[in-house]
Amino acid sequence: MRILVLGGDGYCGWATALYLANQGHSIGIVDNFVRRQWDHELGAQTLTPIRPLVERLAVWQELTGKKIESFVGDVTDYDCLASVMSNFRPDAVVHFAEQRSAPYSMIDRKHAVFTQTNNVVGTLNLLYAIREIVPDCHLVKLGTMGEYGTPNIDIEEGYITIEHNGRSDRLPFPKQPGSFYHLSKVHDSHNIAFTCKAWGIRATDLNQGVVYGTTTKETSMDEALINRFDYDEVFGTVLNRFCAQAALGYPLTVYGKGGQTRGFLDIRDTVRCVEIACQNPAKQGEFRVFNQFTEQFTVLQLAELVKEAGTEVGLEVEIDHLPDPRVEAEEHYYNAKHSTLIALGLKPHLLSKSLLDSLINIAVHYRDRIDASLFAPQVNWRNPRNERHHAEKHTRQPALDKSLV
């Protein structure tokens, strides 16, 4: 298949592009490198030293003989996106190219507006580009489990059958997202569902849980192909952060009681799930939703697993409970379905002792690159940063000259 990976220089996108290329698909990457800029903005860097995209791609081609095309551009720029779509003519587009950090979206008004503009406009442009240029192309869109929030009932895969006043209907599962980022994904889902109905777009929304790990078969072929490993407060996801903290002897930063339960998956399963979705496309006009995670854990359970694994390799690991900077339930019911991808052939890599050891080993290996000042949470959901106002002071209009009226 010809598969275009939007956001292919990022954490999930890079691993996915290489995996799909290795499976024999023709791959194109689109990215505007804004993720690398956010690291500069935040004064953070990935634990693992990632190379510029051109270098990564040259090494990949040298090692495998497989060429991955790359297009540098912003998906919120319609002309740019349309020209890539006309040039590459994909059978499937995998859309990772969004601002994906909940804390980043909660910094202040500017970051909330940027997140929603970048994400919602990019996806809307993509829907138009598919309709106008490649109407048969299958959209594989990365959504998030966080769209559902933490309701006190089981979470279904996208839809729920509701009986009301003697009638029954299959309706979108209620959404209760917990940040302006998670809200942007809900807005995307609505736009996609509408265009499937209105224009016959075929789409699969992969409501992915929190991803951990950094290594896949392809990214381990050479150090130049290494993937991102974010550990900072804004972009680091919880298990990756705990491993980096353990490596440095910094207390694991459990927010609140740590009873927050989420769905998790290994990055090796992310890439396989995307392949499964591409191989089994949605029908024309169909809007499918798959819940993409393999196991549920509470944050405290993960901290305890990291503490156990770290202690065994001789690290001193303490668990700290910090006041939760987010507005979220610290203890709650959580039971989310995730059977469709398994039924389609996913064989999960469950969180094992050896995987935890290897994650901690990577963190220990690159320990010198860790900046401990990036561990403490600074972004506060209840108290966004105030903005400085730059507008000119409003000056009084001159009195109207009645002789000119």
Positions marked active-site: 144, 181, 185
Give the x-and-dash track for 153-192 against ligand USQ (CB under 6 A).
Answer: ----------------------------------------
State the DSSP string of 141-189.
EEEEGGGS---SS-B-SSEEEEEETTEEEEEEPP---SSHHHHHHHHHH
3-state secondary structure of 239: helix
Give the x-and-dash track for 62-91 against ligand USQ (CB under 6 A).
Answer: ------------------------------
Q: Which stretch binds ligand NAD (CB under 6 A): 93-101, 156-164, 303-311, 322-330?
A: 93-101
Question: Residue 74 CB, nearest distance to ligand NAD (Å)?
Answer: 4
| Residue 298, CA atoms < 13 Å, CB-side half-sphere | 16
Q: Binding to ligand USQ by residue 294, rule CB under 6 A? A: no
Strand blocks (E) in 269-372: 287-292, 295-298, 319-322
Other beta carbons within 10 Å of 83 = 15
Alpha-carbon gap, residue 221 to 65, rounded angstroms: 13
Question: Residue 100 CB, nearest distance to ligand USQ (Å)?
Answer: 3
Between 147 and 304, name the residue whose CB sits nearer to ligand NAD: 147
Q: Binding to ligand NAD by residue 263, rule CB under 6 A? A: no
Query: Are 72 and 33 in contact, with CB atoms under 8 Å apart?
Result: yes
R_g of the chain computed on alpha carbons: 22
Between 293 and 375, name the residue whose CB sits nearer to ligand NAD: 293
Alpha-carbon gap, residue 71 to 29, rounded angstroms: 6
Question: Binding partner of residue 34 among ligand USQ, ligand NAD, none, CB under 5 to 8 Å per kind?
Answer: ligand NAD
- Of 155, 146, 143, 208, the residue nearest 336 (C-alpha): 155
Q: Which residues bind ligand USQ (CB under 6 A)?
A: 100-102, 144-146, 209-210, 237-238, 241, 253-255, 260, 262-263, 299, 326, 328
Binding residues vs ligand NAD (CB under 6 A):
7, 9-13, 31-35, 74-76, 96-98, 100, 118, 122, 142, 144, 208, 210-211, 228, 237
